[in-house]
Structure 1
Amino acid sequence: MERAHTLYSPALRYFVAVAEYGSIREAARQLNIASSAVNRQILSLEEEFGVQVFERVGRGLRISEAGELLLQHARTVLSDFEAVNEQLDDLRGIKQGIVRIASVESVADAVLPDLTQSFHESYPGITLEVTITSSEKVSRMISSAAAHIGFTFNPPDHDTLRDMVSWELKVGAVVAPKHPLAKKDKCTFQDCLKYPLALPAGNLSLARIIDVPLSKLKSKPKSFIKANSLRFMRSMARKSDYVTFQTVLGIEAERKAGLLAHIELTDKDIPCDRLVVLTNSTRQLSLAPSIFAKHAEKALRDYISFN
């Protein structure tokens, strides 16, 4: 956002950075300027508006109610400028720009490395900024225009969210090759209860899916752990007799290497996990994000049809 320096005061940009990074020191490090310069601009901003935008708590900072109000405005202003800036680049036909991507872990593991590499070969002047986070945070980043393209599962219905494309992926049991269940092509959720379980924590979309059969049990599984990382749960399955539950997305390398097996669950009441490519419905994608979105859709179609 180099051109924003010309139109917007440092105080506004430094304020947003401090709010996002949670401290003056970290904001200064990210901005590559002195902490004293950031602090001076924050104090100037507070003096200008006559309110405290941050509350000093011990050695840290906490954004105030007034600060939250200003932050919302500042993000809107800077985001709107970036959108205009991208449109100006489009008019000039410049093959440059920024695409901000928010993705859940499984898509980041399975698809994004090859996708970003192939995209950069075609468009080396376009910068890709990738954030790996939870499914809920992906939706929030798209809704707030903090990201252009989102890869997530089961996003909420919201006026600011638009599904570009989606796929229904079946959830299966994931186990080590020597696990007794690995000999089966299909199994039931009840079959899995004979073994310790690695279950998704509440911030994962998978948790809502697995909660369906769990809620029908008369008692909790005897042995289980909960985790917010699909990679960790796969590791538990790979190194022990634990059973975890995931789609095929993100585990193909371990399957091909003979490290994991994916067994279809035949339970009719277990819903599919819905993979969605999200954009903000209130904003038109500029050229760079639009081109990336088309590349992403093709890459995901190829991946899902192949696996």
Structure 2
Amino acid sequence: MFSLEYRYFYQSALDKSFRKAGENLNINSSALVRQIYKLEDRLNLKLFNRSSKGLELTAQGNLLYNYVAESIEKNEKFLENIYQSDENFETHITISTVETIAIYFLSTVIKNFQEQNKFTTFEINAKKPDSIIDDLILNKSNIGITFAKDIPKSLEILFEKNFPLGILCSPNHELTKKNKISILDCLTYPLVFHPGTLTVWKKIQREMGYSSHYIKPRIISNSYAFIKSYLKKNTQALFFSTKLGALLEISEKSLIHKSVDNKTFLSNNIGIIVNKSLLQNKKTEFFIENLIKFFETIN
């Protein structure tokens, strides 16, 4: 396994551009360049020349590229041979996901899968959308489940489904009586945010021309349990969310979910995402198939 500097060097050599490499790795190109310079200093070598055609490897850079490329190919073949050798070997699957998916769906899929695949273990990390993408790029996770917009080219969306955002609130809230709710309607009430909501909200702010200081949520909490409890007690508060985070409360009618008339809210795809370069073993591929089938059944 190579350190980040070598990964950045390898991608830059492939793309012949720091900017394109940054886009594919989902990092700022200036940060990528700093890591390349750091590698050059450590090796005491110049690895790239700039030209009108883009980046060109120096003689020393070309030697390093061939070594890294050969090592990556050998590593991938080695892993592929291991993965295909025995169906009963232990498999560890790491999933980075938004919290609502982890709470309400993954437990069922994993339980059913482990009943038939007893040598499979799981690590589930509930994270913010941006952190999920970072985990996938750095191969810290086999699978990511998050918003499927603006995904870097190095990642692949295997499946996506629309889960519209709306407002979650008390059944006694005034807006539950309205048939059509706008963003402006919502802004007149106390807002509660989850850190994951901030990613979507920043896009809404850009669309509507609001500055980052215009909207000040009353509460920001990373606990869905706290947010739902607060909404039940404060009948004027609103929380931007999909239905996924409160299916039980909605079925019990202790909370209400209403749609919001906004294209970003109504088009909110959540995807099952992997890194294109990461080899998945047969059991992980089989689990992904099961995960997709389960997502297809969700209404």
Q: Decide: shared fold, TM above 0.5.
A: yes
Cα offsets for 1:4-62 (capped at 9, x unmatched): xxxx9xxx9xxxxxxxxxxxxxxxxxxxxxxxxxxxxxxxxxxxxxxxxxxxxxxxxxx
> 118, 121, 129: which one pairs with 2:112?
118
Q: Which residue of the partner structure matches residue 165 of structure 2?
A: 171
Residue aligned with 1:111, SS:
helix
Query: CA offsets per residue over residues 246-271 of structure 1, 9 Å max, x none?
Result: 11122111111222100011234645
Structure 2 residue matching 1:113: 3-state secondary structure? helix
Which 5+ residue runs of structure 1 have no aligned equivalent?
Answer: 1-7, 13-64, 70-76
Q: Where does residue 301 of structure 1 map in the other structure?
A: 296
Q: How many Å separate the matches in 1 of 2:80 and 2:120?
A: 11
Residue type of the alignment partner of 1:146: K
- Residue 187 of structure 2 is matched in structure 1 by 193
Task: Tell me the residue number matched to 2:126.
Answer: 132
Does structure 1 retain, via aligned residues, the 8 Å contact 2:224–2:245? no
Q: In the alignment, is the contact (CA less than 8 A) between 2:148 and 2:157 conserved in 1?
A: no
Residue from 105, 112, 119 that aligns with 2:99: 105
- Aligned partner of 1:282: which letter? S
User: Which of 208, 226, 229 pairs up with 2:220?
Assistant: 226
TM-score, normalising length: structure 1: 0.65
RMSD: 3.6
Tell which deviates more after alignment, 173-182 or 91-100. 91-100
Tell me how far apart the structure 1 counterparts of residues 198 and 222 of structure 2 sit (CA, whole Å): 6
Code of the aligned partner of 1:118: N
- Cα displacement string for residues 140-162 of structure 1 (whole angstroms, at most 9, x for unaligned residues): 11111111111111454323211
Aligned to 2:244, the other structure's residue is in SS state coil
TM-aligned CA distance change 1:131 to 1:221, over 3 Å: closer
Cα distance in 1 for residues equivalent to 2:182 and 2:272: 30
Q: Is the 8 A contact 1:202 1:208 kept in 2?
A: no
Partner of residue 286, structure 2? 291
Please give the secondary structure, in 1, of the residue aligned with 2:146: strand
Structure 1: how far apart are the matches of 2:76 and 2:233? 47
| Partner residue of 2:272 out of 274, 277, 302 | 277
1:115–1:299 Cα contact (<8 Å) kept: yes
Between 1:101-110 and 1:263-272, the stretch displaced more is 263-272
Letter in 2 for 1:259: S
Q: Does 1:141 align with 2:138?
A: no
The answer to whether the 8 Å contact 1:135/1:155 transfers is: no
Q: How far apart are residue 187 of structure 1 and its match?
A: 1.7
Q: For residue 250 of structure 1, give the secondary structure of its aligned residue in structure 2.
A: helix
**Cα deviation digits, residues 141-195 of structure 1 (max 9, x gap):** 1111111111111454323211111122211111011222223444222222332
Q: 1:237 to 1:257 in 2, by over 3 A?
A: same
Contact 1:172–1:265 under 8 Å retained in 2: yes
Residue of structure 1 in register with 2:8 after alignment: none
Q: Distance in 1 between matches of 2:244 and 2:197?
A: 18
Q: May I ask how many residue pairs the two structures share in their alignment?
A: 237
In structure 2, the CA distance between the partners of 1:198 and 1:213, relative to structure 1 (3 Å rule), is farther
Q: Taking structure 1 as reference, are residues 149 and 83 closer, same or farther at Cα in structure 2, changes over 3 Å only?
A: farther
Instruction: Name structure 2 gaps, 5 residues minimum.
Output: 3-37, 43-70
Contact kept in structure 1, 2:80 and 2:279, CA below 8 Å: no
- State the secondary structure of the residue aligned to 2:161: strand
What SS does the aligned partner of 1:251 have?
Answer: helix
Amino acid aligned to 1:169: F
Q: Deviations over 1:184-216 (max 9, x none)?
A: 444222222332111344784333344356635
Match of 2:251 in 1: 256
- Read off the aligned partner of 2:97 and give its amino acid letter: S
Q: Distance in 1 between matches of 2:166 and 2:242?
A: 6
Displacement of 1:294: 0.7
Identify the residue that residue 23 of structure 1 maps to in structure 2. none
Paired amino acid for 2:125: T
Residue pair 1:200, 1:206 contacting (<8 A) in 2 also: no
